[in-house]
Structure 1
Amino acid sequence: MTTSEQAARGKRSNNEGTSPRLRKDGTYQANYVAGYQPSGKPIRKSVYGATKAACAAKLKIALQHVSGGTASLAKSPRLIEWLDHYLDVVAPNGDVQPRTINAYRSKIDNYVRTQGISGKRLDKLTPTDIDALYADARNSRQRHRAGQPAAEPLAPSIIQGLHRVLRRALNVAVNRGVLARNPVLRVEVSAKTVFEPQVYTTEEIRTMLAVALDMDDGARWVLNLMLGLRQGEALGLAWSDIDFETSRIKISRELYTLPWNHGCTQQGSGVPSCGFNAAWRCPERHSGGYFTGGRPRARPATVACPCRRSWPGR
């Protein structure tokens, strides 16, 4: 646009916002003043659209909120602030299992919290930011304890899990009006590796059954062979789950573990006051240990299984 054209058009005022401009990622952005701080400094916000017309339409709606006094003046939370809020408040109040929350938290601590993207505000996140985050995580190495073999490249399943928690947390932000659009939905990750189950031969099963009959906890392994139970499901069974009259077993819970958390105060250097780095050694540890919880909803509630009260040879 030439100088003469700009002069003819005139400068847009603060209550009009800026004209939509094309961004590097192909979307359009327009800025506007949502209000003013007590110091008089303007509070500037932005709207985005896939097309120039869509961006202009969003700008019009935003300016209507400003003129009507209903515009939100709060700044968009930073990514790590929202993820912590999701893990500490939202997920526990929903249908997310405690151990799943713990797995989510581990991925966020290992691959997001120390990265620059963690301090970026939600309304500034782009698919390119997410791509870069995954690339950094993919190129990192899994941690191994001292004395163990050299670390191998990060497993694809870790990236898939990271993608899952980010997608879920930012979907909540969209549903609650904190974020206009979830950038994670526009990022693709490699598909899961096809699972190939190990199929035992008849002779192998006979050998395992023979060994199980001589074990005090042999029934647990026989159940696994017969029903294909997960380890947590087998260990979470109680006598009340078995109906000997109808030969049916109710699978309603799982046994699982959660790591301990420090209950002592943290010193200025971040070192626990108890003197132990490992939380399980803290005298005031809490929230860890063995727990039983509901089974995944996809599993059947009850299964048929030949049952008897006596164990061979006992």
Structure 2
Amino acid sequence: MMNRSLRLLILALTAVGLGSGFTPLSSGVKRPSVGCAASTSSSQEEELETKFREIATKFRLSALHSGYESKDAKYGVENVRAAIPIDPSLGLELLQVAGDGRGRGLVLVSGVGGNAAQFTSIAVGDSIVGVSCGDDYRQSVTGLDYDSTMDVIIQAKTHAELLNIPEIHLQLNRLVARAPVQILLERNSGGSNSVKTIDGLAGDNLRLVLMNQDVDVNRGGSHCGGGGSCGTCMVRVLQGEQFLDDMTGKKEDDNLRKACQTILGADNQECTVRIELP
């Protein structure tokens, strides 16, 4: 069962090994059992087990090992940043759900309480990929096992205590289902108006979605191939502009946008966007 593997990450305690329990650093702190999930029912454990298995099968290391990406196109990875006060404890539970026995693994948040619950948006299933404290302590923990991840976090806590810094910062990756996006493309052909409905997902590039539906996006002959420099893929947004992100951080006048620089479903929102080709 899952509770045999649960490990409590409360920095009033320090782990002495994955299989050897915990050693209290303060006599005032209750020493948890290895299970530390007495309040978790069997059905809740089964739900968590299913959720963690799904995450483990969908996560993969990014090309530069700077975080995770999703192997399933219907899911994306959201970056979460959290500043957690170290006193009296972080209040996180961590669980290693995969590993190779050589220091590599996948560690997920399995419980949130204390400072983590009060001051952050960290959720069960998140994976810590980076730990920092102040200006001079910054470590990646992407793909590290439980022991190695704990070592880095404890070092950050120690660093914070030495410099009288009240908090440490965590960067986490969260697997999220990509929200559906519907594109309504208005077209005028031979004096007749029509609307083509195209389905996409939040995070999709508008130009690529249109091209996949055989829409002639780039007009005017040669084009830059999606680099954002030629302007031949302009679309006019008639409805739903608030659901679009521009990769350049700016937009054209009169609701015109470069399709190649437009990302659908801002903030992973389900939405409908109506556009036309000018």
TM-score w.r.t. the length of structure 1 is: 0.23
The structure with more helix, counted as a fraction of residues: 1
